[in-house]
Amino acid sequence: MKKRWTFRPAGLALAAGVWVAFLGSGCGSKEQAGGADSSGRDGSPDESRIVLQVGPDAYSLGDFSRYVRETVGTGETDLNVAGLSHFFDRFIEEKLLLRAAADKGITVSPEDKQAYLEDVETGVLTEEEKTALLTSDTGPLIDQLKIETYTREITQDITVEEDEVRTYYDRNPGEFSLGERAQVSQILLPTEARAVEVWERARFADEAGFRGLAQTESVGPEAAEGGVMGVFQRGQLPVELEEAVFAMREGEVGPISESPYGFHIFRLDKKFEPERISFEDAAPAIRRKIVDLKAEAAMKRHLDELAKRLEWKSFPENLSFPYQRMK
C-alpha cells in the first residue's frame, strides 16, 4: 500500500534575535530616498560614499555592505528593499550604541576576550578569528563586545515579580493550552521496493520490533533513536500526514508514504489528550519572556534618547537601494 503526498519535516524553526525597530527621528533619516547617483565608473555602487556619520566616525557604503554580509552571510543582492532598509536601521542603532560605549570609556580587556572565547559555541569562529580577537583591539568582534557590555548595563537591573508572572499566565490562557498531540516514529527507505519489504515486517511488529527495524533499516536522521520523530500537535505536520496520523490507533503502522526524501513508514506511538500547562511548569518561560519584553522596551527608550543626544546624520541617498524607513 502506498499513499503519495509532499512531505516536509516538521518541528524545524528558525530562531534569531533581532534589535528593536529604530524609532528615533534623527536628522538625515528619510521616509524614502535613493535618487542620487551612487555608481562608480563601471556602473557598480561607489562603496566609499558615506552613508552614516556618528560624531567623529564616518561609515561608508562598503562598511554597511560588510555589515550585511557578516550578519546574514549573504550579499545585498539576495535581500529585498524592505530587508536592506531594516538592516540599515540596525546598522544605525549599533553605531549609536558603539559611540555611546566609546563616550563612556568602555574597553575590552584580555579577560573579556578570553571569557567570550570560552562561551562561544565550537565552530563559530575560525582559529584565525580567535587569534585576531586576542591580539587586536579593533574590529567587528571588539565592537560587538563593547556594545554588549554597554547594553548589559542598561538591562542588568531588570526584575520580574511573582504577581507579574501570574498575571501573564491568567491573561494568556491560549499560550498554555496543549491540543491533541501524537508521538510519531518513522522508517525512511530510499526505494519503494525496499520500503514494501520492510513494511511487510513492520506492520505486524510490536514497538520493540519497529524500533529495531528503524535502527537497522532506516536512512532517516532519527534511526539511532528507533525512528522516534517527536511529539506533534495538529498544525505541525503536513495536512495529509496529519489526517492519516491522527486517524490511526496507538501502535498502528500506516501505509507507505512517498515524499522527496524517500519512502516513509509511519507509526503512531502514543496519543496525548488536550491539557493545560500548569502555572508551575509555565512560570520559568513566562519569566524569561517578561524579562525579554522589559529589556526590549528599555533598549527602545535608550535608543530614542541616544538619537536625540548624540550628533549623527545618515545619508540614505548614498545607499545602493531606495531606502524605506521602517514605521
Looking at residue 275, what is its pLDDT?
Answer: 86
C-beta of residue 187 within 8 angstroms of C-beta of residue 210: yes
Ramachandran area for residue 98 (φ above 0: left; ψ -120 to 50: alpha; else beta) = alpha
Looking at residue 24, what is its pLDDT?
Answer: 35
Residue 62, all three cell numbers: 562598503
Looking at residue 74, what is its pLDDT?
Answer: 58
Looking at residue 26, what is its pLDDT?
Answer: 37
pTM above 0.75, yes or no: no
Looking at residue 18, what is its pLDDT?
Answer: 34
pLDDT in tens, the chain (327 residues): 444 343 333 332 322 333 333 333 334 333 333 444 445 555 567 889 999 999 999 999 999 999 998 888 755 567 889 999 999 999 999 999 999 999 999 999 999 888 888 888 777 788 888 888 889 888 888 999 999 999 999 999 999 999 999 999 999 998 898 888 999 999 999 999 999 999 999 999 999 999 999 999 999 999 999 999 999 988 888 887 888 888 899 999 999 988 888 999 999 999 998 889 999 999 999 999 999 999 999 999 999 999 999 999 999 999 999 999 765
Looking at residue 161, what is its pLDDT?
Answer: 96
Among residues 147, 145, 32, which one has the least CA distance to residue 92? Answer: 147
Looking at residue 202, what is its pLDDT?
Answer: 96
Looking at residue 315, what is its pLDDT?
Answer: 97
- Residue 100 CA: distances (Å) to CA of 95, 134, 301: 9, 24, 14
Which CATH code of 3.20.20.80, 3.40.50.300, 3.10.50.40, 3.40.50.1480 fits the domain covering 180-273?
Answer: 3.10.50.40
Write the DSSP assignment of 162-204 as a string of letters.
Answer: HHHHHHHHHH-GGGGEE--EEEEEEEEESSHHHHHHHHHHHTT
Residues pairing with 177 in the sheet:
276
Residue 268, all three cell numbers: 503512531
CA 169 to CA 284: how far, in whole Å? 11
Residue 65, all three cell numbers: 555592505
Looking at residue 39, what is its pLDDT?
Answer: 52
Looking at residue 19, what is its pLDDT?
Answer: 38
